[in-house]
Structure 1
Amino acid sequence: MNINLPHFNMKNLVKEAGSTISRVVQLTEEKLGTTERTEYDLHFQNLAERADVTKAWTEKLVKDTESVLIPNPQNRVEDYIFEKIDKSKPKRVSNLEHLALDMIEAGGDFGQDLPYGQALIKVGQAEQKLGQCEHDFIATSGICFTQPLRKFLEGEMKTISKERGILDSKRLDLDACKNRVKKARSMLGQQSKDGISPEAALEQAERDLRVAQAEFDRQSEITKLLLDGISTSQASHLRHLHAFIQTQVRYYKQCGDVMEQLQRELAKLSTRHQQQVSCTLCRMVPVPSLS
């Protein structure tokens, strides 16, 4: 119930309170099975069910994708808050990058000229590249997939839920008016009550019913149009899914390229080390005397 103090209107307040009470009574009687209710047509029910399924699965897909991209739930919550307040997300060092830094530092301490130290540094540098690839993948996936789906949930689906709620209220108003008309008809032929004749009461109830029916029909059409729009939204979601897969393919290819390059560099180090060992052994072996 909204009360705008600068334009407070007691008549509107009473009318809104009366409508709320009428809806509560109507809903209670429906749950008790003591009154009839207007049922939505089969097409509308199918659209509404599809909307509910779409909402539930989209929420789960967004949550699951974000769990894959950012496994730490605390980081996901932190990123969501930063996104809401329009601030850039903090730059975090991933576990992979922590490993890379430690490998590079260990390689330096073990000796950059020694095989193990050289290998550790090479591997650490490769892990750093993988870490950057991971950052790029997470950022791009958010832009091309999870953010559009979340925007759909927070925009279009919220609007649909709001309009469906209004439609339910209009439906309760309509059925309450239908019941008042039935009651007024049953009173025909009886004495006037509270100075209002049964005929006048019926005429007023029928006017209210016509208004309620018109408002219900109008809201029903609005809601149907929004529900029909989900098909268009799913076509957009399909494009976002393709973009996500392209991002994933590019990410794994970049990682594969980094690892293949690392393998070649490690193989060169190994060959060089073997050659150094062979030369050292050659110098150590005494040359036999010819005499």
Structure 2
Amino acid sequence: REEIKSITLRCQNFYKKSRDTASKHTFTKGGENFSEIHRFQPEISCRHRENLLPSVLLVVKICSERTSGVVKRKNQENLPSLVKIVCEGIKMNMNIKMPDFDMKKFVKDAGSTLSRVVQLTEEKLGTSEKTEMDAHFEHLTERSECTRTWTEKIVRDTEAALIPNPANRVEDYIFEKIEKQKSKRLSNLEYLGLDMIEGGGEFGQDGPYGSALIKVGQAEQKLGSNERDFIGSAGMCFIQPLKKFLEGEMKTITKEKGILESKRLDLDACKNRVRKARSMLGQQTAERDLRVAQSEFDRQAEITKLLLEGISTTQATHLRHLHAFVESQVRYYGQCNKIMNDLQRELASLGGPQPYVPVAGYEEDDELAGRLNSVDLSGNSGYKRARVLCSYDAKDGTELNLTSNEVIFVCECNPPNSDYMNGKQGLLKGLVPKAFLELLDD
């Protein structure tokens, strides 16, 4: 078969040379006559017989020359299969399509399409009546359209929130379509972390600024890695299921609704033909077509209705995916909060200038918050630095969890308490036991 394919390519070059010989319907080699091959012309499509026959004959001749030298009469019963293989090879190499063409079906489809166009035009002009669906079906249709519209918006907005850069979204889309694994792309936080680490190394790891830069850079890299994991998990648990719904069930519903609309146009066209029929024979034919169209329309309406009613079950599935998305967000922000709290404690343990302390309750009043933060914490404001002597687990929500050697800010309770002080741990506030603290600012 592979040899025949390669030989077939030669047939295209020898086509002109073989035309005159093929017109005689005869090939002769060693006294053997090849005219019997024309008994098997039905193997060749009638539409392409005139063009393919010279090539078929030439291929058979070349094959016979390469294999046995001559085609002997006792082996001529193998010619039908040989001709069939040659025809397949020629069609494959010449890229000739030979579909079975049904003229009756083509004419019928063309007539149906023309009838639908005429019916739709008359409806737009108001000269023809239109079959209306029941209220329940219309409600299901509106709900499906609402579901499709808002699902598309949610998917689009979620992708924009997870990957703000549109160029990156286009790149991911292209790699997804070509089913090729994309290269690892660093996030902005990871790039920031790399530059901070390199800058800290240049400034010197032993200096306070250089060591702080390295620690912050490492934390930023952790944040970037967590962000990439969150984007992947959110895509798997939320975006991909919604996309699958849009590309699967919603496409099926849209397709079935289109078929239903076609059946509806056919039905209304049949109704018009029944009204306009003048002869008895034409009346009977139109009524028969009407019954067939009504049956097809009812069947398609039932199929579409069942699909539309299934939208309610998909919303329950989408609710589960939404819960998974929220859980992924909670896990992501919890990890980020832990990373930043650890970083804050590490920076405080390095010493150096006093950090900016956010004042809870004054976020909306920037002037007041700035005035309170501009006060020296080691002075008369009441806040002092304190080192935690050993780790402490909070007993309830009013206390803070403490880590050994952690530096926090404390002040006396109002009214004073002999066992506890008010503590600030970043954005967190709560009670801390005095026995676990060593005041650094007198």
Band of TM-score, shorter chain: 0.7 to 0.9
1:92 aligned residue (182, 185, 195): 185
Determine the structure 1 residue equivalent to 2:316: 235
Matched, 1:153 2:234: no
Matched, 1:216 2:297: yes
Matched, 1:225 2:318: no
The residue type equivalent to 2:252 in the other structure is T
By how many angstroms is 1:5 displaced? Answer: 5.5
Which structure has greater strand proportion? Answer: 2
The residue type equivalent to 1:98 in the other structure is Y
Rounded to whole Å, the distance in 1 between the matches of 2:226 and 2:327 is 14
Q: Deviations over 1:82-137 (max 9, x none)?
A: 12222223311111111100100000000100000000000000000000000000
Q: Deviations over 1:44-74 (max 9, x none)?
A: 1001111111111000000000000000111
The residue type equivalent to 2:233 in the other structure is T
My pick for the range that moved more, 245-254 or 82-91, is 82-91
The residue type equivalent to 1:241 in the other structure is L
The residue type equivalent to 2:290 in the other structure is L
Moved over 4 A (4+): none
Rounded to whole Å, the distance in 1 between the matches of 2:240 and 2:206 is 48
Matched, 1:82 2:175: yes
The residue type equivalent to 2:183 in the other structure is P
Determine the structure 2 residue equivalent to 1:52: 145
**SS of residue matched to 1:6:** coil
Using CA pairs below 8 Å that are at least 6 residues apart, which structure has the higher relative contact order?
1
Determine the structure 1 residue equivalent to 2:102: 9
By how many angstroms is 1:6 displaced? Answer: 1.4
Rounded to whole Å, the distance in 2 between the matches of 1:264 and 1:77 is 40
Contiguous gaps of at least 5 residues in structure 2: 1-96, 353-442
Q: Deviations over 1:25-59 (max 9, x none)?
A: 00000000001010011111001111111111000
The residue type equivalent to 2:293 in the other structure is A
Determine the structure 2 residue equivalent to 1:191: none
Determine the structure 2 residue equivalent to 1:37: 130
Matched, 1:252 2:345: no
Q: 1:5 to 1:39 in 2, by over 3 A?
A: farther
Q: Deviations over 1:186-233 (max 9, x none)?
A: x2xxxxxxxxxx111100100000000000000000100111111111
Matched, 1:261 2:354: no
Determine the structure 2 residue equivalent to 1:178: 271
The residue type equivalent to 2:138 in the other structure is Q
The residue type equivalent to 2:316 in the other structure is A
The aligned runs of 1:195-214 (5 Å cut-off) are 198-214=279-295
Rounded to whole Å, the distance in 2 between the matches of 1:23 and 1:219 is 17
1:270 aligned residue (351, 360, 377): 351
Rounded to whole Å, the distance in 2 between the matches of 1:5 and 1:206 is 39
**SS of residue matched to 2:138:** helix
1:110 aligned residue (195, 203, 210): 203
The residue type equivalent to 1:64 in the other structure is D
**SS of residue matched to 2:106:** helix
Rounded to whole Å, the distance in 1 between the matches of 2:229 and 2:110 is 55
**SS of residue matched to 1:14:** helix
Q: Deviations over 1:244-289 (max 9, x none)?
A: 0000000000000000000111111117xxxxxxxxxxxxxxxxxx
Contiguous gaps of at least 5 residues in structure 1: 188-197, 272-291
Matched, 1:162 2:255: yes
**SS of residue matched to 2:350:** helix
Rounded to whole Å, the distance in 1 between the matches of 2:334 and 2:98 is 62
Q: RMSD of the TM alignment (CA)?
A: 1.5
Q: Give TM-score scaled by structure 2 length.
A: 0.57
The residue type equivalent to 1:12 in the other structure is K
Which structure has greater helix proportion? Answer: 1
Determine the structure 2 residue equivalent to 1:28: 121
Determine the structure 2 residue equivalent to 1:275: none
Determine the structure 1 residue equivalent to 2:49: none
The residue type equivalent to 2:159 in the other structure is E
Would you say how many aligned residue pairs link Structure 1 and Structure 2? 258
Matched, 1:120 2:201: no
By how many angstroms is 1:78 displaced? Answer: 1.1
Rounded to whole Å, the distance in 1 between the matches of 2:126 and 2:109 is 26
Determine the structure 1 residue equivalent to 2:111: 18
Rounded to whole Å, the distance in 2 between the matches of 1:47 and 1:85 is 36
Higher Rg: 2
